[in-house]
Amino acid sequence: EPEVTQTPSHQVTQMGQEVILRCVPISNHLYFYWYRQILGQKVEFLVSFYNNEISEKSEIFDDQFSVERPDGSNFTLKIRSTKLEDSAMYFCAGNTQSLDEQFFGPGTRLTVL
Amino acid sequence: RKEVEQDPGPFNVPEGATVAFNCTYSNSASQSFFWYRQDCRKEPKLLMSVYSSGNEDGRFTAQLNRASQYISLLIRDSKLSDSATYLCVLYTNAGKSTFGDGTTLTVKP
């Protein structure tokens, strides 16, 4: 059964550094999403992406965040200048229709020191 | 008011018990409704889609009431393996998803 994969599984970085989190969605998915989950808190929507454009983004997704899908396979989330409060688990997800169930990757744990 | 409110829990029940979770939502533009389960430090995984007509999958029954803006999940004959956090999730047509805070269930022998 196809799966969403994410790399790295754990990323440790210094405050102010740029990080890129990578996701390989399931091949027939058309809609892509990033979420974050701070330890002990709820899953929070960051952004949805379709047809190489952002469809919707939350208040969390400010100018420090960007997404792209440059080669038709990898879907990346970039955080330009990380803050301590960016420490969280970041999940990538995808689906074939925007209202269908989403399939989640295993997540990348980001630790900002 | 939160967009999605779930029973705060935690729920601690013995094996074999029946347990029900409720979730209310405020955005009437919500189009799709789901229950996901999340095990500790893992990704959310779909448990069930939720429809107005109600749907059942083995020991699990989900129901949507659009007029009252709530969804429910009923688990019968609880198993130890049902221990997890249950997430109420709503999607809008614009591609935005909203998760509830989650309700933690612990099933004890």
Q: What is the pLDDT of residues B11-64, one digit of tens each?
A: 999 999 999 999 999 988 878 999 999 999 899 999 999 988 889 999 999 999
What is the sign of the dihedral through the CA atoms of B82, B38, B9 and B71?
Answer: negative
The predicted-structure confidence for A22-38, as pLDDT tens digits, reads as follows 999 999 999 999 999 99
In order of A4, A72, B46, the CA distances from B34 in angstroms are: 19, 28, 7
The residue of A35, A42, A49, A57 whose CB has the most chain B CBs within 10 angstroms, and thus the best one to mutate to test that interface, is: A42
In order of A29, A36, B2, B51, B89, the CA distances from B20 in angstroms are: 33, 27, 21, 17, 16
Whole-number pLDDT of residue B53: 84
Residue of chain A nearest B36, judged by CA positions: A101
CA angle A5, A67, A92 (to 5 degrees): 30
The predicted-structure confidence for A35-75, as pLDDT tens digits, reads as follows 999 999 999 999 999 999 999 999 999 999 999 998 878 99
pLDDT level of residue B8 (50, 70, 90 thresholds): confident
Q: Report CB contact under 8 Å: A104, B43.
A: yes
Q: Which of B32, B41, B100 sits opposite A99 (nearest CB)?
A: B32
pLDDT level of residue A21 (50, 70, 90 thresholds): very high
Whole-number pLDDT of residue B9: 83
Q: Report CB contact under 8 Å: B44, A43.
A: yes
Q: Report CB contact under 8 Å: B95, A105.
A: no
Whole-number pLDDT of residue B99: 94
Whole-number pLDDT of residue A72: 78
Residue of chain A nearest B35, judged by CA positions: A101
Give yes or no for residue A3 having a pLDDT over 80: yes
As a whole-number percent, the residues of chain A with pLDDT over 70 amount to: 100
For residue A6, list its beta bridge partners.
Answer: A23
